[in-house]
Amino acid sequence: MSFKRCLAAGLLITALSAGAQAAPSDFVSPNVPLSSPLYGYIEKFDGMGYLTSMPNGTKPYTRMQMAQWLTEIQAEAQKRPLPQYLAGMKSELEQELAAELQVLAGEQADLSFQLKEIGLEMGAYDGNSVKYRKNDSGPWATYQPLNSNNNGYRYGQDGNVIASAQLTGKLGPDVAVALEPRFSYDDDQQGDAALTSGYVKTRINGMAIQLGKDPVFWGHGATGSLILGNNMTPLTSIKLSNLEPYTSKGFFRFLGDMNFTAMYSELESNRTNLNAKEVDSPLYVAMRGTFTPQQNFTFGLSFASMVGGEGKGLSSGDYGDWLLGRNSQAEEDKWNNIAGLDFKLRLPHWGGAQVYGELYGEDQANYLPSKVAERVGVYIPRLNKDGEWDVKLEYAHTSNWWYGHQLYTNGYVYKDDIIGDPMGHDSNQYYVQVGHYLNKDSKISLNANYIAMDRSAIVQQTIKSGWLQYQTKLQENVFLESQVGIARISNANFTSGKNETNHFAGVSVRWLY
- What is the model's pLDDT at position 92? 94
* 289 vs 20, more confident: 289
* pLDDT range class, residue 10, cuts 50, 70, 90: very low
At 40-75, the pLDDT tens digits run 999 999 999 999 999 999 999 999 999 999 999 999
* pLDDT range class, residue 14, cuts 50, 70, 90: very low
User: Is a pLDDT exceeding 80 seen at residue 317?
Assistant: no
At 438-469, the pLDDT tens digits run 988 899 999 999 999 988 888 899 999 999 99
Task: Give the DSSP H/E element, type plus range, for residue 101.
Answer: helix 98-104
At 215-256, the pLDDT tens digits run 999 999 999 999 999 999 999 999 999 998 888 787 788 888
* pLDDT range class, residue 416, cuts 50, 70, 90: very high
Q: Which domain holds residue 100?
A: 3-512
Q: How many domains does the chain have?
A: 1
User: Is a pLDDT exceeding 50 seen at residue 483?
Assistant: yes
* pLDDT range class, residue 328, cuts 50, 70, 90: low
- What is the model's pLDDT at position 247? 85
Strands 217-218 and 114-126, by their bridges, are unpaired
* pLDDT range class, residue 159, cuts 50, 70, 90: very high
Map 249-310 to HEC letters: CCHHHHHEEEEEEEEEEECCCCHHHCCCCCCCCCEEEEEEEEEEEECCEEEEEEEEEEECCC
Mean pLDDT computed over every residue of the chain: 89
Give the mean pLDDT of 282-303: 96
* pLDDT range class, residue 365, cuts 50, 70, 90: low
- What is the model's pLDDT at position 367? 55
Task: Give the DSSP H/E element, type plus range, for residue 116.
Answer: strand 114-126
User: Any bridge partners for residue 508, and if so which?
Assistant: 121, 481
- What is the model's pLDDT at position 364? 56
Give the mean pLDDT of 198-216: 95
At 69-124, the pLDDT tens digits run 999 999 999 999 899 999 999 999 999 999 999 999 999 889 999 999 999 999 99
Nearest residue to 418 (alpha-carbon basis) of 433, 398, 432: 398
Handedness of CA 164, 113, 95, 379 (dihedral sign): negative
Give the mean pLDDT of 296-309: 94
User: Is a pLDDT exceeding 60 seen at residue 9?
Assistant: no
User: Is a pLDDT exceeding 90 seen at residue 388?
Assistant: yes
CATH of the domain at 163: 2.40.160.130
- What is the model's pLDDT at position 13? 40
